[in-house]
């Protein structure tokens, strides 16, 4: 009986596979079994001499391996870390600004050593010249200030002796009695001005003042009278008081309907000096008087004639 060739090949392949599986299983099972410990013997690992022995120190040094430091990677960009190790997001901008400032400070960049030394010497000489020039300017300014101060003192001295004293009104060279009239109907309060006009030509310190020149007087009140004071006539300083042409007394006579309010005016002046604590009644009366004083008015009719006379209490008037 003749065996076929293909069956022989197939049987041999199958036998090889079985042998491979059997050998692999035996190796795996032997590897998984640990060393067995004996009761009277402790296993000791074998000592292996792994240290290499060199013939010379030069060979040992050449065989040394460079130890590289190991660092954990940084979460920040290393270009933005300053010299202290701190993170600065504006570090590049600061470096640029520092570079620009240094360029402006040194004028312009010098790339050669000789040029740099020349620039430094020139800057030192320029600074010394600037300091000397500044000192000269300061000395010049100080001299000018001293000169101006002396001139100012001399000018003040001259102005002091050249100043004009206040001129006094000489009654001997002026009219002692002046006739005036009220210019229009007027209603006046305290310290308001009364408008008047001259009835005749007059002289003040030998200066002629024509008729109908406007004069202003300031009003104050006392019982039954309206007092008027005149401080200048046509820009000439004077001291006059107005007197009523009808009765010759100082001021203008008031009608009867103003008498009570004029009396309150005087009482108000008296009450102004009263300051007694714990008396609210007096304070209330004082407020009433002050209110009446502010609201008091005098009606002066047009063409009311007055006489102006010198105030003899004025020290600036030279009377005969």
Domain positions in the chain are: 173-312
Across 22-31, 110-119, 150-159, 201-210, the highest mean pLDDT is recorded for: 201-210
- The span from the CA of 282 to the CA of 279, in Å, is 6
- The span from the CA of 127 to the CA of 34, in Å, is 91
Instruction: Determine the angle formed by the axes of helices 259-271 and 280-295, rounding to 10 degrees.
Output: 130
CATH of 173-312 among 2.40.128, 1.10.287, 2.60.40, 3.80.30:
2.40.128
Predicted pLDDT of residue 19: 92
Task: Look up the pTM and report it.
Answer: 0.38
Predicted pLDDT of residue 13: 92
Q: Tokens 């491979």 appear where? A: 20
Predicted pLDDT of residue 285: 47
Q: What is the pLDDT of residues 13-67, one digit of tens each?
A: 999 999 999 998 888 877 655 666 666 777 777 776 667 788 888 888 888 776 6
């Amino acid at each position: 009986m003749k065996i076929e060739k293909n069956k022989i090949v197939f049987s041999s392949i199958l036998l090889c596979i079985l042998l491979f599986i059997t050998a692999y299983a035996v190796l795996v099972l032997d590897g998984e079994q640990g060393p067995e410990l004996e009761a009277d013997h402790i296993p000791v690992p074998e000592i292996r001499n792994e240290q290499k022995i060199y013939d010379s120190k030069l060979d040992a040094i050449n065989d040394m391996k460079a130890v590289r430091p190991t660092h954990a990677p940084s979460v920040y960009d290393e270009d933005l870390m300053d010299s202290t190790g701190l993170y600065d997001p504006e570090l590049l901008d600061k470096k640029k600004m520092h570079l620009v400032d240094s360029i402006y400070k040194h004028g312009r960049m010098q790339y050669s050593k000789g040029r740099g030394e020349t620039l430094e010497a020139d800057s030192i000489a320029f600074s010394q010249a600037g300091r000397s020039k500044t000192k000269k300017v300061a000395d010049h300014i100080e001299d000018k200030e001293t000169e101006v101060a002396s001139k100012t003192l001399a000018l003040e001295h001259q102005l002091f002796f050249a100043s004009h004293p206040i001129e006094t009104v000489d009654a001997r060279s002026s009219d002692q009695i002046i006739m005036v009239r009220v210019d229009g109907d007027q209603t006046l309060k305290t310290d308001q001005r009364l408008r008047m006009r001259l009835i005749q030509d007059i002289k003040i310190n030998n200066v002629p003042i024509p008729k109908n020149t406007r004069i202003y007087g300031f009003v104050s009140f006392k019982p039954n009278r309206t007092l008027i004071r005149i401080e200048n006539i046509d820009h000439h300083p004077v001291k006059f008081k107005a007197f009523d042409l009808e009765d010759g007394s100082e001021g203008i006579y008031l009608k009867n309907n103003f008498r009570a309010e004029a009396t309150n005016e005087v009482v108000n002046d008296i009450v102004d000096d009263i300051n007694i604590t714990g008396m609210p009644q007096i304070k209330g009366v004082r407020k009433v008087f002050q209110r009446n004083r502010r609201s008091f008015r005098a009606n002066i009719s047009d063409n009311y004639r007055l006489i102006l006379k010198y105030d003899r209490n004025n020290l600036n008037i030279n009377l005969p």
